[in-house]
Every structure is written in structure tokens, then in C-alpha cells.
Structure 1
């Protein structure tokens, strides 16, 4: 692996001798493309996260030997990694061999309000799949399934350590989503009950109801998924305000009559047929004045830089679904007796407010 680098004097010489019809050499674009295409920095970030480097710098900068001892790292290797990251504004070399936190490194702390320290795990299964992403582009099929011979969740069930790190990355994303969804939606005050469909172990609902103290909630997901929720609810003091119900979207009754239903990163995992069935069952549980809130990537056209477009490629490679366009969502909701009322932008994914057709 070699980082692309072209000396400025060579660029200038090439530019001078370029002939008609050849593209003009824009050094800024060349360097920007090299930066975007290289994976050294992303891997280095993930590696220092796995060592918990940011946590050891909370009280101030440390010399590399001391930091390496606390992180169980080899000092020279750690210094080389931190030196490269400091050049990108992640950590700072305060003086030779002494490193501290920067604004970009602060969210890597485990005590940060929206900590991203667990958001970037190094998962061997994922990395092997990305190494064959060209297969996905040629065939439209999952490179993960091509490499591993099984689906993503089946693989995770057989690799508990990777599954644990994956769960940590999802929890990190959830912390961010709680803040973005709560601040983006202006109608929480008029709602008193919410059902989080596919809400996992309740992390999102706990974060939500800890802030919206007038509301009560119901957590609904597969029985083995919600098994760990009671302990989390007890620790958060929310046992009396959040009910837990284990069940399937497709086989069990969805809790009826709530003011709001939440689908957070759920629809994108299902085909149109399964999504239609799910939405039809949600509509049957809703009152005519209930609302459905959908928080997931929407595939907007154009050149805007949106996090959902990158997530769509993750789904493509891992075989987990797709991000739909607004038009596709309208058709999907319409077939289930629902309609989009508004699409609310957030720093993460859009929040789509959906109402029953009456």
C-alpha cells in the first residue's frame, strides 16, 4: 500500500508540457482525492480508539512512554500513529513526544456526551467484505455474503467478540440520534406515549424519556433482544415509565393506541414486501390521530454530502437493505394507508413524520 504523492515541481512541469485535450492538473484536487481515497487515517483512528487513548489524556497531555504503558501499546508504534493523526488535527503533539487532546479528539473520550469512542471498531468480517466491494459493484450482491458465505447477522452470531464491538458502535450512534431527534422534532410536548418498534435493548428510549419526563414508552423487539432491557431501565430509574414487550413485527400484536410510533433504522433493512407488511400492521395499531416517526437515511438526489449516502453503501456491501428515495417512501407508506406529512432534516438522518390516511 502506498499513499499517492506527487511532488509539486513535477506537477508544475507536467502542467507546462500538457497538450490540447489533456485535462488541466489541479494540484488541490489531486491532493484532496488522495486524502479521500486513502485508508491509513481511518484505520489509525479505529486502532487508537480500541486502545482507549483519548481516555488516558483526559487529565492532560502525556509523554508517549507513559501513555503507551497505560494503553498497553508499544511506544514507538504509538508515537508514529499519534504523529500522523496529529497532522490531521486529531490529537496534538504539544512538545516532542508529548501528545494531548484536540477538539476533534474530544468525542473519542468515553465520558463525552455523544462519545464516539466505540463508534469505529475494527471488525475483521467487515474489512474483508470491503476488500471485495468491487464484487458488489459488478453484481449488485453483498460482498459480505460473497466473502463469508453467510448473512451478516448469522456471521455475528458465530463471532461474539465482533458482535459485541458492533453493538458498541450502534450504541454510540444511538447517543447521537437521541440528541438530534429530540432537538429536530417540535411536537414532543403534545405526545404522552410512544412505542419504539425494533428498539433493541432500550438505549434510545431511555435517552429519550430521560429528557421527556411527561412521556411513557413501550419497547418492542424480539424477546432475546429486549432481554437485557430491564436492567438498563432499572439503572436509569425508568422501570415504571417504560414497558417491555418481546415479539415479532410480523407475528405478534404491535402495542395499540399510542400517540406515536418510532421506527429508527428499521425499514431500510427490509424488502418492499416485508416493509409493506410491517407498515400495514403498524397502521392497524395506530389511532387516526397517532403519528409514525421514521428516522433513517433517505436517498436524496444531487451532490449534497449526506451521511445517508455513505450508509447506503454499507447496506449494499453488507446485504442489509437500502436507503429509499422520498418518492419510494411515499409509495411505500401510501400502500399501507399512511402519508408523509413532512421530512425534517437532522445532523444525522432525516426524521420523516407520517400520518394515517383518514
Structure 2
């Protein structure tokens, strides 16, 4: 399962710092002075950018707006905050302050005092948007508690979640059905874009029967089978996750072509099938556990079977890539890394698997492998 995303602290005070003594800051140490008239440029613009990056207030406000489906209340047009609050069950003045923060970031707008409306960014939070992100960003308190332990993780390199909660991330979800449903819904929402990018990246029609190990509620598998009518599937995941799969499969009209297996995919791998799929699974596990899983898959494969590994490959350099965020989030929750192309290929090699091809997409890469001869 995919991750929800992490939040970061805001500087003390929450606003833009004033220059000492109330005047304009001196141009010291290469900083550029603020021009007369107060335009935001130079070092002030840099300070504001750092504040934006360090802010955890807006991300948490966004998660409340998503959890309580605020954008859906505004589909018909601008509304007073009191009406919105009454409809979703929130405190009106608190909701106003929350939406004001989001409007500052371009999510919602306040065209009149106390009246809010959708913006292009807020449209993505509507439940009826084809690429809706409404369920992608739930409020999961347990994750936030884990992130509060990031300082110790930074010192030791160990996962924060088990340290803060006394059990592993997935053991916790197994015992918290309501939280698990929120996490599963988050994965489903994020999968909408992933499906669009991956569906054209590989010859899925030739895959025969696909064993989707750790496939969650089956959204990705269902999308593949809905597109390619000759495919069949076997979905394997833990019982509390697999229990929701029949609903997802039925919604896509593929229930008759999928067998759902409730079990631990480390121990429950149907042997001798055409294609084995690990979609965003390896980044949840350390090299030791990932290697053990891959060796088990290799043993289950026929000589002509294929393994498809879908992961975010971390690029070098400073460019934005969602895999860099997932890498840190995986460390906090499970202690496992996202990996480079070379690291994934070596991990497969150590398990007796030969990488045949690597196809990069705008979201995940597709690594195709077979049993080494």
C-alpha cells in the first residue's frame, strides 16, 4: 500500500519575520535588499519560500478539508462558511480559519468575507472528479504520531512508527479497520493517475493470468482486466485488506475473472502462473525482507513466467520526484527504502532473477524480470 505523505513543522510565529528595528534589512552576506515600496523580492522572497516548505499547517488543513469533503459542498458555487460547516459537521469559525489558510495557497478562494468557492486546485478535491484526490490525503493520526518521532529516526536510521506505537505499521492497520479503510481509499485515489500512466507502458495483454501480490483492494488489477478482456487475475493480500476487494472488482465488472486469496503474500504465492506482479510492495521492506519475498516468487515461477515490479525509481540530482518523498515516508513508517534502478536490478539478481527491461513512466517504472538461467 501506498503512503499518505508527511508533514513538516512551521517556523515559530507562523508569519513573515520583520526586519530588526522595523526597517528594511541590510544587504549583508550577499542578500538583496527589499526595494522601497515593500515588493517581495530577494531575501524576503527566499524567506517566504522557506516558510512555505517548512509549513505543516496547510498540509494538515488540507487533510481536514479532504476528510470532511468540503469541496463537494461547493460544487454548486460559493457558499457561506456557516452553511458548509453545518453540512459537514465542523465548527464554523474554525472551518473559516482553516479555509482561509488553504485559500492563501490557492486551494479554495474567499470571494467575499466568510464565503468560499472552488479554485482549479480545489476542483481536484471533488469526489466526482475523474482524477479526484479527495481520498488521497486522509487525516491519519497514527502516521502523524510517527512523524513526530522523525528526530530519533534521523539520529538512528530506524523506523519511527513501531517505536511510537509498539508494533509494526501493517500490524497496526490489521488491528484498526477504520484506519485501514482510510489508507486503502488513499491508495485507490492515488492509483487513478498511476493506472493511466502504466496502462500504456507495457504489453499487459500478453500477461495471461496475473498474480497480484500485495495488491490491496484490487483496483490496479481490476483496471487491467477491464481494459484487456482475456486477462485473468489472482489477488493476494492480508484478510482485512482483501475483504474489500469484491466491491472493487464488481464495480469494474471483472469479479468472474479474479480469485481473491486472503493471506500473507510472503507465504501464500500461487505457483506456476504466467505473470507475478509486485506493485509498490518492495519499498515497504528492507533488503533482507524484500530479498526473501523475491526468492519466494522466483521459486513459484515457471521457467517461462515473468515478474513485473512497479516502483518509483529515484533519480539523481535536485529535480522533484515523488519517489524521494515516498522514500522518506517509507523510512518513517517501515524503515524500508525506495531504491535506484541499479539497486532494484541488483536486488532481483540476488534473488535469482534476471532483469529483462526497465520502462520509466511519469509515475512508476516497470521492471520486467524472469528466472535466471
- Whether the TM-score (by the shorter chain) exceeds 0.5 is yes
Alignment of 1:7-156 (within 5 A): 7=18, 13-16=24-27, 18=28, 22-24=29-31, 26-156=43-173
Q: Which residue pairs with 1:240 in the alignment?
A: 256
1:202-242 CA-partner distances (Å, limit 9, x unpaired)? 22211222222332222123345423333443343212221
How many equivalent residue pairs?
Answer: 352
State the SS of the aligned residue for 1:105: helix
Mapped partners of 1:70, 1:233: distance in 2: 32
Please tell me the root mean square deviation across aligned C-alpha atoms, in Å.
2.5
Shift of 1:267: 1.3
Residue 3 of structure 2 corresponds to which residue in structure 1?
A: none
Q: Which residue of 1 aligns with 2:295?
A: 280
Aligned counterparts of 2:264 and 2:353: Cα–Cα separation in 1: 21
Greater Cα offset, 326-335 or 5-14 = 5-14
Q: 1:14 to 1:299 in 2, by over 3 A?
A: same
Contact kept in structure 1, 2:225 and 2:232, CA below 8 Å = yes
* TM-score normalised by the chain length of structure 1: 0.88
The equivalent of 2:321 in structure 1 is: 306
* 1:56-81 superposed Cα distances (whole Å, 9 cap, x missing partner): 11222222222222122232222222
Instruction: Name the residue aligned to 2:4.
Output: none
User: How far does residue 174 in structure 1 lie from its aligned partner after superposition?
Assistant: 2.6
Cα deviation for residue 4 of structure 1 reads 4.5
Does 1:206 find its partner at 2:222?
A: yes
> Secondary structure of 2:256's partner?
coil
Gaps of 5+ in 2: 1-11, 33-42
Residue 339 of structure 1 aligns to a residue whose secondary structure is strand
Specify the alignment match of 1:332 in structure 2: 347
- The residue that corresponds to 2:17 in the other structure is 6
Task: Give the match's secondary structure for 1:244.
Answer: strand
Distance 1:255 1:176 in 2: 31
Is 314-323 or 2-11 further displaced after alignment? 2-11
How far apart are the structure 2 equivalents of 1:191 and 1:155? 34
Distance (whole Å) between structure 1 residues aligned to residue 146 and residue 268 of structure 2: 34
Note if 1:269 corresponds to 2:284.
yes
**Structure 1 residue 48 displacement after superposition:** 1.1
Structure 1 residue runs without a partner (length 5+): none
Deviations 1:12-49 (A, max 9, x none): 84333x2xxx3535333222111100111111111111
Partner of 1:322: 337
TM-score by length of 2: 0.85
Kindly provide the CA deviation profile for residues 53-106 of structure 1, in whole angstroms up to 9, marking residues without a partner as x: 011112222222222221222322222222221221111223333222111111
SS in 1 for 2:325: helix
